[in-house]
Amino acid sequence: MQYYRKYLTYIEIDVIIDISAYTEEQVEILQRVMKNKFKQYILISSASIYTEITESPAKEDDPTVENPAWSDYAKNKYLAEIRTIENSRLYNFKY
């Protein structure tokens, strides 16, 4: 985490669009290091976290779960989303 702090200390931005986060630890590191330096965080997730897709594309408020059909990939993406929701309240950003 110190590595990221060193390079991101003086950066302030409006939006983070995270296209590479795969685990909750990865979103946690970026969100914690950038705390109070951004207003919105967009996590590019995966359709694998949705339990039942009735329409295409899936909607943000469709039910999500650690979908066992996709093994660890869906579980990790789901947990990254949950961590982002929790951190949005803790660090005061939109997601």
**Residue 7: what are its φ and ψ, rounded to 5°?**
-95, -15
- For the record, the structure tokens of 63 come out as 């039910």
pTM above 0.95, yes or no: no
**Is residue 85 a contact partner of residue 64, using CB atoms and an 8 Å limit?**
no
Q: Minimal CA–CA distance to 92: which of 45, 29, 34?
A: 34
In tens, the pLDDT along 23-39 reads 999 999 999 999 999 99
**Is residue 84 a contact partner of residue 31, using CB atoms and an 8 Å limit?**
yes
Cα angle vertex 91, ends 89, 1, to 5°?
Answer: 135
Q: How sure is the predictor about 58, in pLDDT bands with cuts at 50, 70 and 90?
A: confident
pLDDT for residue 51 = 73
Q: How sure is the predictor about 8, in pLDDT bands with cuts at 50, 70 and 90?
A: confident
Q: Where are the beta strands (DSSP E) in 2-95?
A: 15-18, 40-43
Average pLDDT over residues 68-79: 85
Average pLDDT over residues 59-82: 82
